[in-house]
Structure 1
Amino acid sequence: MGFFNKIVDNMVSEKVPRKRRKRLIVFVALITLLSMTTATVAWFTVNTFAGVDNLDIKISMSAQLKVGMENYGTDLTKYTKVITNEMVDSYLQKQGKRLEDIMLDPVTTTNGIRFTNQRGTEKEPNDRSYLEFECYFIATEDMWVHLTTESTEQGEDDGTKVTTTSTGAKADVVNCARVDFSTDRNGTAIYEPNRVTPVNGQTTFDLPTGTMQYSNNTRLFHLEQLTPTKVTIRIWVDGEDPQCDDDVQDAQLGVQLGFVGCDENNVPIS
């Protein structure tokens, strides 16, 4: 307790009798210890090896919008309307990584670019803790790209949603997930599904329930006609989220992202 005595001694008035002051110092020290303990409740237990498992990804494009894992210039025939797990895995294999090896151990970030673990150690992308990959968006006309909960094609259920097949307490994993999108021109936007109170100083957005409403808040980045734009996508579970505890270890996480292009008035382009 000597360490805490030194910290809190100055907080206790010299006018308080010495015997009572010692009791106050111990009381303040206990409160300090309690706050240090409760501040780490949200994280997985340190040194566990089981992160969030079985990550499933599906990315779909609406009309006038395509995507590729490489920059193919203006050759639209080489771009596709979807990105699948297999495409992401092929991208990772060029780095000597595999999608199945990324366990999504908890990390946190303030800006969606630099990530640290519970100890404050900076983590590298695709090293168990979080998924990061690059792709190139291209459009047939100028547009703002938004996430959408609506289907990108009629008859398809491919709108944005974060889901799990896990049950019980593990199902809380959907509330811990984050996805961000970074471009050189427009910076980084962080999508927080089931958003309540952002953590660690993050600026995040959620999508409306029910009918999709497009606004400046749902904008991700701008595309110029037939100009490929590199977008870095990152997926992680945030250790600072109150529901990111041991209960969601080994949970299954499905991330489905639907993109739509809108004009400057946020009206979808068909």
Structure 2
Amino acid sequence: MMKKKREQERGKEKQVRSRLYTSVLLVLLSLVAVTAATVAWFSIADNTKVKTMGLDIIADTDLRMDLDPHETIEQYVKTLSFEQIAERMQRDKGFSMAETPLEPVTTVDETVFTFENGNVAESTSGAYLEFSLHFMAAKDMIVHLTSANSSNETEDGTAIMSWNTNLAQAMRISFSADGWTWIYDAGMGDTSGTSGQTKIFGLPRASVMKLTDDNAMFSLKEGENKEIKVHIWLEGTDPACTDELKATQYSIRLRFMGEGTEEEMGEKSLLDR
């Protein structure tokens, strides 16, 4: 009888130890999962932010743009400076681009942006940039983002510039219109991928840049204004988005270039045969 009782007690002790080991293992696995999920983010506790930025936007021949819509193409401009965009952000969003650094956020629809803790980042917070560009063209065209320079003497192609090369890898710039969104990811190189109504693409270096389907974005009709919603953010889930970017200075340059529509390019191809 006593022997049977001792065996029962040993059995209970084994069950307790087994449950304890299981609990400890689950806790350790949970810690690993949390660490893995946050390793690609800035440290919120350290309040790490990118320090300052510049932004210049350039359009090519037969293509114009502005921060407001106009009636004729002559009223649009070829270049927009950091100061002009910063003034608009101050007026519309209420913060200074020169004094309010970007913070790491993420998004699944390029509309709602959230911090690491899941809280929504408002567009008026300065954590990311949101503004509109209005385009007009002198002829029907498809607009591309290009890294090519306008001449050998001028460096004006699309680029994200910083002493910290990881910053460009973590940066995202999106352009939305007609139910589509095109996201420029400098880390992709000369490739692109499409999911639903979203295309993510990179650009080759300036010396080998060509206008292709990979970097093609929205289309324009001659003399018609088109509003493009622009977002600029640091993608917190990108492996390059780490504390090493703390207080990093950087500047962004965007250059747009147009080419004939698919119909025009098809007609040209037939004539060249």
Common topology (TM > 0.5): yes
Q: 1:150: how far off?
A: 0.9
Secondary structure at the counterpart of residue 255 of structure 2: strand
Alignment check: 8 A CA contact 2:41 2:242 kept: yes
Alignment check: 8 A CA contact 2:137 2:221 kept: yes
2:86 pairs with 1:89 = yes
In the aligned structure 1, how far is the partner of 2:137 from the partner of 2:161?
29
Partner of 2:186: 193
Alignment check: 8 A CA contact 1:62 1:153 kept: no
Q: 1:236: how far off?
A: 0.9
In the aligned structure 1, how far is the partner of 2:134 from the partner of 2:204?
26
Higher mean C-alpha displacement, 148-157 vs 124-133? 148-157
Q: 1:203: how far off?
A: 5.4
2:129 is aligned with what amino acid? L
More helix by share: 2
Kindly report which structure 2 residues correspond to 1:213-252, keeping only aligned pairs within 5 A, or say none: 213-252=210-249
Kindly report which structure 2 residues correspond to 1:203-218, keeping only aligned pairs within 5 A, or say none: 204-209=200-205, 210-218=207-215
Q: 1:50: how far off?
A: 4.1
Secondary structure at the counterpart of residue 209 of structure 2: coil
In the aligned structure 1, how far is the partner of 2:170 from the partner of 2:157?
20
In the aligned structure 1, how far is the partner of 2:261 from the partner of 2:133?
23
In the aligned structure 1, how far is the partner of 2:64 from the partner of 2:152?
17
For 1:176-210, what per-residue CA distance to the aligned partner results, in whole angstroms no more than 9, with x for missing partners? 11101111x14211111022899xx9852111235
Alignment check: 8 A CA contact 2:219 2:261 kept: no
Q: 1:108: how far off?
A: 0.6
2:172 corresponds to which of 174, 178, 181: 178
- CA-atom RMSD in angstroms: 2.5
2:172 is aligned with what amino acid? R
TM-score when scaled to structure 2? 0.81
1:93 is aligned with what amino acid? Q
Structure 2 gap segments, 5+ residues each: 1-13, 269-273
In the aligned structure 2, how far is the partner of 1:155 from the partner of 1:171?
24
Alignment check: 8 A CA contact 2:168 2:186 kept: yes
Q: 1:215: how far off?
A: 2.4
Alignment check: 8 A CA contact 1:106 1:238 kept: yes
Q: How many residue pairs are counted as aligned between the two chains? A: 244
Partner of 1:10: none
In the aligned structure 2, how far is the partner of 1:37 from the partner of 1:175?
22
For 1:90-124, what per-residue CA distance to the aligned partner results, in whole angstroms no more than 9, with x for missing partners? 21232233221331011111122210001111111
Alignment check: 8 A CA contact 2:48 2:243 kept: no
Alignment check: 8 A CA contact 1:68 1:80 kept: yes
Change (3 A) 1:216 1:137: same
1:218 is aligned with what amino acid? N
TM-score when scaled to structure 1? 0.82
Structure 1 gap segments, 5+ residues each: 1-16
For 1:24-67, what per-residue CA distance to the aligned partner results, in whole angstroms no more than 9, with x for missing partners? 44223312221112210121211434411211111111111001
In the aligned structure 1, how far is the partner of 2:238 from the partner of 2:127?
15
